[in-house]
Amino acid sequence: MDLHGWVDVYLDYLRIERALARNTVEAYARDLAKLLEQAEAEGITSPDGIDVPFVSMYLVGLGERGLGARSAVRHLSAVRGFCRFLVRERVMVADPCALMERPRARRKLPVWLDEDEVDRLLDAPDELTVRGLRDRAMLRLMYAAGLRVSELVGLRLGAVDFRGGVVRVTGKGGKSRLVPVGEVAVDAVQRYLERGRPQHATERETVLFVSPRGGAMTRQGFWKLVVRYATDVGISKQISPHKLRHSFATHLLRRGADLRAVQVMLGHADIGTTEIYTHVTDDHVRRVHGATHPRSR
């Protein structure tokens, strides 16, 4: 089997055995496609040619093309995972990435909305319209539970337990979690189910939030409506659905929430991913101290 064939086998392994999300597998496919391009340019057609000098040259070439440290880390991760798979399958004798250091990538602090901006955004949809009922329910549920946009648009009927005040979410890798939801979001979803969804949903559609055509909402469609509402209420920050997830985590930690609890609610496998929000809140504390303490200057 040639190198292209082994990449296809590896992507099937990620998709089927590892049960990674479609977007994650597609990201691996894009990164490994660049590896295949470089291999073809060097006349390499089999895994044997993926050795230490080749991988080093490949990463250096990406840097010369202006690839940032964060992207370099992602590319190296894709190549490293592929090589480990080939070693496991006994196609390679040794992993050429084993001794390579990860490029140091400076972590960007997430951008979030303050509580006033969140309030304005969540109140923006007009509940007198069917679309407004849906949009208000979606925005409030996303902020209440800190959902990813893919998790929000993928929710099924019955995902929200109105009596228990929780939502069952299917996250990355098909992992399920329960997240508490406040009364405000629960009420908005109930109103949408009673007065909004029946106007558009087809009989067989099981997705909770539907488009005017009766099918499931797309991530792109929700992105556009978030940007539109943010513009309508005068929010000047660069906005995206993920900013609501950032805001959810930041606001919880600022009000004293336990980091482990926030990790569980966000569905992070590694608490290190959640810890970036502690840097955000620490930065806020320093600014408050600098602006208000009489001996801060």
Which residues does the annotation mark as catalytic? 148, 172, 242, 245, 268, 277
Bridge partners (DSSP) listed for residue 61: none
Contacts 24+ apart (CB under 8 A), 164-171: 167/141, 169/145, 169/267, 171/267
Residue matched to tokens 């390499």:
44
Q: How many residues does the chain have?
A: 297
| Torsion region of 90: left, alpha or beta (phi above 0 gives left; psi -120 to 50 gives alpha) | left
For residues 126 and 135, what is the distance between their CA atoms, to the nearest angstrom?
9
Residue matched to tokens 């996250």:
171
What is the pairing mode between strands 176-180 and 160-161?
Answer: unpaired
Question: 23: helix, coil or strand?
Answer: helix
Rg (CA), the chain: 23
282 contacts 276 by C-beta, under 8 angstroms: no
Phi and psi dihedrals of 215, rounded to 5? -100, -175
Helix or strand (DSSP H, E) at 144: helix 130-145
Question: 89: helix, coil or strand?
Answer: coil
Tally of CB atoms within 10 A around 151: 21
Tally of CB atoms within 10 A around 66: 7
Write the DSSP assignment of 230-273 as a string of letters. Answer: HHHTT--S---HHHHHHHHHHHHHHTT--HHHHHHHHT-SSHHH
